A and B are shown apart, each in its own frame.
Chain A
Amino acid sequence: MTESKVHEAASAANAKRACEGSGLSWTFADGVIELALHRAPCNELGSASLEELEVFVTALESLQSEAHALIIYSDMKPGFCAGADLRELYQRSQAMEKLEAARGVRDFLERIHRVLNLIDASPLTTIAAVHGVTFGGGFELALACDLIIADKMARFCFPELRLGLIPGFGGIPRLKRDLGNAVVRDLLLTGRSFNASKAQQVGLVSQVVGEGEALRAARATAAQIRKFDHATVAAAKNFIKPIPYDELRREIDLFCELFSQPAVEAGLRRFVESTDAQPYLP
């Protein structure tokens, strides 16, 4: 989508202060913006989702002077988000020359980084209310938020090394910002998944709640934040939450370098063609 079309769509969406897209929707009421993800099967992030996210962040920039909190959650039963749409990535890269595919990947990464950086740097208090699968790019979307509230069935994982890649949507710089390096290495180098209790234990998750309760808890948290002065909250956030822009840039470069290796094509093909019941396992 061109930039002017994004602005056009965002202005139209902003005018009605709500938007119903094919893969995500948002509402704005009582100072809280709620972004619901609802692309089957588990909110995989591909080109269509990215276009809608771009429309959303443009609207977010207009709405955030009136809002105090943003909640991101999923309407899909399997979880918050299973990450990048690997099937689309594989099919597109197969249909293109290598150089063109590499350019396409870099462009996608630049765009998704812009979206996540805007959410990360938003003056609102941002809350990811997660359940179930919160993997790869889905985990990275949650990491862009200030708080993660998890239902006890949530699982977090960076399985990218299995594909010969690293997380590409800002995951490593943001994890490094938020957690100890040993935990980052554990998640990244083993590719294992953490449950919500473990994620809370290492400092990733602020609250663990019962099954189906994450959104309710996020709304209660947003109501608490509303009691504080908007400008003071924004100043506090700006003071405590640096955006690691340099590392985020380097992550894009490293991802693109790795993407050109033959191991990636083989890894993607294995995933796409897998009928294994455990394709997420390294």
Chain B
Amino acid sequence: MKTGDQTLNEILDLAAAHFRVPKEKLSPDDDFFKTLGIDSLQTLDLLTKLENHFRVELPDYELQGVSDFRTLAGKIQARL
């Protein structure tokens, strides 16, 4: 079982690679919409990447209001 920190770190790795942003520019409490500069369709891409990587289902409504990597990691961790 991954720890919360491992999950968070993997999310940052995935986001950096998928949106071609240097990982050092991302921090756990960043608003990922602003930091990654992503729109609604790209947000869905990120959701799919995360579900495929962690092999979990993340219902969209559970992510409503979630905008930082740390809270996102918590939502994923709860489904691992």
Contacts and interface: CB of A to CB of B under 8 A. Distances in A.
B59 A278 contact: no
Interface in A59-103: 78-79, 82
Interface string B33-73: 10000111101110111011000010111011001000000
A159 to B, nearest CB: 9
Nearest to A153: B48
Nearest to B62: A192
At the interface, is chain A mostly helix, strand, loop or mixed? loop
Contact of A281 (B38, B41, B60): B60
Given A192-B60, A192-B61, A277 B39 contact: yes
A151 to B, nearest CB: 10
A125 interface: no
A42 interface: yes
Interface residues of A, number: 27
Contacts, number: 61
Contact of A132 (B38, B40, B41, B64): B41
B61 A153 contact: no
Nearest to A279: B40
Given A78-B41, A79-B41, A153-B45, A280 B51 contact: no
Contact of B44 (A133, A197, A282): A133
A281 B64 contact: yes
Contacts of A153: 45, 48-49
A154 B67 CA distance: 22
A194 B49 CA distance: 13
A182 to B, nearest CB: 15
A190 B40 contact: no
Given A152-B52, A195-B51, A195-B52, A278 B63 contact: yes
B45 to A, nearest CB: 6
Interface of B: 33, 38-41, 43-45, 47-49, 51-52, 57, 59-61, 63-64, 67
Interface of A: 41-42, 78-79, 82, 132-133, 152-155, 157, 190-193, 195-198, 276-282
